[in-house]
Structure 1
Amino acid sequence: MNQEMPIWRRTIPESRDKAQSKMLTWVVGVLLMFGAFAPLIAAAKLSLPLWPLGRPFLFSAAFAALVLALRAATPAASAIGFLICFILAQAPAEWSRYTPGAVARPLWPALLVVFILTFAATRYGRARKESRGLSESRRGRRASQIVANLGVAGLFAAAGHYEGCIVALAEAAADTVSSEIGQATGHPARLLTTGKVVAPGTNGGVTLAGTLAGLAAAAIVVGIGTMHLLSWRPLGTMWIAAAAGLFFDSLLGATLERRGLLGNDLVNFASTLFAASIASVLR
């Protein structure tokens, strides 16, 4: 039996959306590849032992394989996830021994929590979301979606901006959880800019249940990301930055995305970048 082609439900022209996603994937993907393997190249030039990279490499490969096995992402998306995980797993903890005064800050636990939260939220109320045409594809997330949600975290980690990386992860978790929970409950959403009642899944629409779930998810990720610190002071600032990114995402959705100027991938990337930048300024 021939399957029907999926109906395009977005306001942005499909060709423009695909072009934006493709550009984002290639540009950020190349930067992530450089960020993942730059320490390896630098260590080789300095004749440093490469064995510290063994554990991060194996962990990242296992993580990517798990994501692929659970059909949470396509093969290409899993490969991008490997690069991001490799960056977070090796920097700066594994290489701090070579840098006098460096502090080992484990970043991968926050990434793992993001995966657990988003995986659970995506599957919560899946049958109801599928009946409304709002569910994620059963083939898993595409490479552009992984880049859009986690690319900023990988780039900030590669650049050594710890707070920005954690906040980008927290915003990505908050955005996905809020959208998935809001759509699963079926409660009417309200447009962020006008307060007008709109259908669940509408760009820029927010629900109370989804927003609270998203803010809680951000708090969990920030808490896991800062659990090794002796002070809890940064937690509040980082959570506020993640929350600001969540509402910025809805603002872009209610304006530029609804007008067909930006696709969802660029909106998500811009929102995580906005949140991470706020965290870097306020640290």
Structure 2
Amino acid sequence: MESIVIAAVVALAATLVVKKKKLTPAAGITGWLVAMAIYMGTRYEGLAYLALFFGSATLATRHQRGVKSHVEEHTEIRQASQVLANGGVAALLGLAAWLLPQYQSLFSLLMAAGFASATADTLSSELGTVYGSKFYNVISWKKDTRGLDGVVSLEGTLIGAAGAIAIAGLYAAFRQADSGCVIIALSGILGNYIDSVLGATLERKQQLNNDMVNVLNTVGAVIIAVGLFFLLA
């Protein structure tokens, strides 16, 4: 019965978000499927990570739209591919936790790491463009044009790190403040760096699109989290 209620609540939330034109109808359905896969394996903890990511991303995307529209093409409405790019890895981890409940705590940690990276990337991109004062190419560290792929600022980097730390704090609220929080925060920050490197190289050469880069940044964060888990365990 509880699962049916959650499915209905998530469906209602997705419908409202679609009506608010934050997601396309296809993205709303995709988001519902992602959320349910996350819930199946990690229950309310996983949904909380998803909510924090999506809520902060939505607010950051909306913030100072006029400023960002002068820098690059900017839209608030998200496509199904974008939902999968940011939440697909988490959905797979949720299903893995459902199939292998004895490893649920590990999969929850890895899911948080993936969301930490996605949150850091979105906040640093959306808000760094607005509040950054000096912009540098992440490969050459020479000054570069604001808004281009692989261009970072100190302000954007710090904002992104704060996003990763927020996910780590949520993990601590559900579990406890331990080495897992460090793993999540570091994985999120480093995953965001991977995103910038891929943006400055393969995305600029049009060998990867933004959705592919977002998938790889969450995958990279999860791989880093696995390494840190066994290192610190």
TM-score scaled to structure 2, two decimals? 0.88
- Give a deviation string over 1:18-66, Cα, whole Å, max 9, x none: xxxxxxxxxxxxxxxxxxxxxxxxxxxxxxxxx3421221222122123
CA distance in 2, matches of 1:186, 1:230: 34
User: 2:188 maps to what in 1?
Assistant: 242
Q: Which residue of 2 aligns with 1:59?
A: 9
User: For residue 256 of structure 1, what is the aligned residue in structure 2?
Assistant: 202
1-structure distance, mates of 2:55, 2:69: 21
AA aligned to 2:191 is G
Match of 1:159 among 89, 96, 105: 96
Gap runs ≥5 in structure 1: 1-50, 94-104
| CA root-mean-square deviation | 1.6
Q: C-alpha displacement at 1:169, in angstroms?
A: 1.0
Match of 1:84 in 2: 34
- Tell me by how many angstroms 1:70 deviates: 2.4
Q: Letter of the aligned partner of 1:275 in structure 2?
A: A
Q: What CA distance in whole angstroms lies between the structure 1 residues aligned with 2:172 and 2:20?
A: 28
- How far apart are the structure 1 equivalents of 2:86 and 2:219? 10
Alignment counterpart, residue 141 of structure 1, candidates 66, 78, 82: 78
Equivalent-residue separation in structure 2 for 1:259 and 1:83 (angstroms): 33
Q: Quick one: which of 66, 71, 74 aligns to 2:24?
A: 74
Contact map agreement 1:249 1:271 (CA 8 A) in 2: yes
What is the Cα deviation at residue 156 of structure 1?
Answer: 1.3
SS of the counterpart of 1:203? coil
Indicate whether 1:125 and 2:64 are aligned: yes
Between the aligned partners of 1:206 and 1:231, the Cα distance in structure 2 is 30
Tell me what 1:12 maps to: none
1:187-198 equivalences in 2 (<5 Å)? 187-198=133-144
Q: Give the secondary structure class of the aligned counterpart of 1:212.
A: helix
3-state DSSP of counterpart to 2:136: strand
Please state whether the residue corresponding to 1:226 is helix, strand or coil. Answer: helix
Give the conservation status (yes or no) of the 8 Å contact 2:10–2:35: yes
Q: State the alpha-carbon separation in 2 of the partners of residues 162 and 181 from structure 1.
A: 28
Give the counterpart letter for 1:146 in structure 2: V
2:41 maps to amino acid = A
Secondary structure of 1:187's partner? Answer: coil
2:217 aligned with 1:271? yes
Identity of aligned residues (%): 32
In the other structure, the counterpart of 1:98 is none
Task: Tell me the secondary structure at the aligned position of residue 214 of structure 1.
Answer: helix
1:89 shift after superposition: 2.3
In 2, distance between residues paired with 1:154 and 1:202? 30
Q: For residue 152 of structure 1, what is the amino acid of its counterpart?
A: V
Match of 1:31 in 2: none
CA distance in 2, matches of 1:107, 1:214: 20
Structure 2 spans left out of the alignment, 5+ residues: 98-106
Shift of 1:213: 0.6
Q: CA deviation at 1:110?
A: 1.3
**8 Å contact from structure 1 (residues 134, 201) kept in 2:** no
Equivalenced residues, count? 220
Q: CA deviation at 1:186?
A: 5.8
Could you tell me whether the CA contact under 8 Å between 1:110 and 1:222 is conserved in 2?
no
Letter paired with 1:65? T
1:111 to 47, 50, 57: 50
3-state DSSP of counterpart to 1:275: helix
Residue 205 of structure 1, aligned match among 132, 143, 151? 151
- Pairing of 1:204-243 with structure 2 (within 5 A): 204-243=150-189
